[in-house]
Structures are given as C-alpha cells and as structure tokens.
Homo-oligomer: A and B are copies of this chain.
Amino acid sequence: MLSSIVFYALDKAIRSYRRMAQANIDRAGLDITVDQWLVLRVLLEHDDLTQHDIAERVFKDQASVARILALLTRRGLLSAIPLPHDGRRTQLRVTEAGHRILEAVQPIILQNRAKALAGISEEELALMRPLLDRIALNCAPTS
C-alpha cells in the first residue's frame, strides 16, 4: 500500500535535506544551525514579531523559538532591546555579525536546494506542492 510509506518517504526526504544542509554550513566554517538561520532570516524582514508570530512563520513551537532567540542573542547575532510600550517584549534586531552570517549562508542554502532538487522539474514541484499543503491542512489541529 502506497499510503503506508508516503510518510516514511516524506520524513526521509526532509531529514536528508536537513542533514545535508547542516553539513554544508558546518563545512563552510559557519557556526549556525539551520533552525537558527531560519529564525534569523525571518527577523531580518520583520523585527516587530512576537515569539508566537515567529513560531507560526517557521512552523515551530513558541518555546522552541524562545530558546533559539536566546541562543542567537547569546551568540551576538541578534540584539534584544526592551520595548518601551510593552514591558514583556523586546525589539529584536539582527546585528552586524548576524547580517554577515546570513550573507555567508545564503549561497550555501541555494546550492543545497539545487542539489536536493537535481533532476526534478518545476512541473513536478508544482505537482507536489498542493499535495503537501493538503496533508498539512488535513492534519491541522482545527480541521
């Protein structure tokens, strides 16, 4: 039965990609994880998000985001300045070091994607996308 192994293939594909991506970042001597990169990337474009907002965008848990933000801040890739109008939140800004590492990682990410998708056409990707979205939708808590 095909359905019984689709999830295994899905899991294997995404895990393989993540391992390869991380290995290539490491190999370039860049000290950042794929997940940290993803969050930092989001903050580059939106610096007024709550942890919950960030979590939604990167499809993670708020608790995971909190810990990733703490790590990014500890590593000097992110600065967190208290917001005057809300004592709970902080203004998150990618630092200079953060910008540098984002720029250094960017071409590696593009290479990784190209390598992962070698031999797959845009048409095939276009076929796959709605199916993946449908699975996510089918599994969503509210549905």
Give the interface of A toward B (CB within 8 A). 2-17, 19-20, 23, 59, 113-120, 122, 124-129, 131-136, 138-141
Contact = CB atoms under 8 A, between A and B. Distances in A.
A-B pairs, 9 with minimum CB distance: A16-B139, A20-B139, A9-B132, A13-B135, A13-B132, A16-B136, A12-B136, A2-B125, A13-B136
Interface-central residue, A5, A127, A131, by most chain B CB under 10 Å? A131
A122 to B, nearest CB: 6
Given A9-B128, A16-B139, A115-B138, 20 more contacts: A6-B132, A7-B14, A9-B132, A10-B10, A10-B13, A10-B14, A10-B132, A12-B132, A13-B133, A13-B135, A13-B136, A16-B140, A19-B139, A19-B141, A20-B139, A116-B135, A116-B138, A117-B138, A124-B131, A128-B131
